[in-house]
Amino acid sequence: MLQPKRTKFRKFQKGRFKGISNNLQKLTFGSYGLKIKESAKISARLIETIRRSLTRTFQRKGKVWTRIFPSIAVTRKPVEFRMGKGKGNPEYWISKVQPGQILFEMDGITHEQALKAKLLAEHKMPEALVLVRIQR
């Protein structure tokens, strides 16, 4: 499972994330990419699940790059616990993504395989995805 080796702080505030991603909108590694349409919080488990389904779709012939990393800890208190007594312990890790951000890049595959991969990833994600293609 993806998680940082060490962080500056153990617990994070929720915060807000709005606006459109500017620096992660272009393909840098592969010829196909999966771009998200709306902002979301994506867990490390979901990132790993999508990555596995993509590599299985290509029968390990194509290459997949993950452009997001879960670096924010989500805390949770135990069930039926009284109010107060501080914040809970870190449960899992998430990555905040903005609309227009590329999540995965793929190379060494055909257009049909890329469409199939997009469909598989869309079934796993609660948010909508767009397939991006490099024009060469």
d(CA 76, CA 87): 8
d(CA 74, CA 87): 11
For position 33, what pLDDT does the model report? 92
Instruction: Please say whether the beta carbons of 25 and 98 come within 8 A.
Output: no
pTM: 0.88
For position 136, what pLDDT does the model report? 56
Contacts of residue 46, defined as CB under 8 A and 6 or more positions apart, other chains included, come to 124, 125
For position 54, what pLDDT does the model report? 92
Note the CATH number of domain 32-133. 3.90.1170.10
Residue 15, sorted as left (phi over 0), alpha (psi -120 to 50) or beta, turns out to be left
Question: Per-residue confidence of the chain (136 residues) as pLDDT tens digits?
Answer: 788 898 898 888 888 877 777 777 889 899 999 999 888 899 999 999 999 999 998 887 899 999 999 999 999 999 888 888 889 999 999 999 999 899 999 999 999 999 999 999 999 988 888 888 876 5
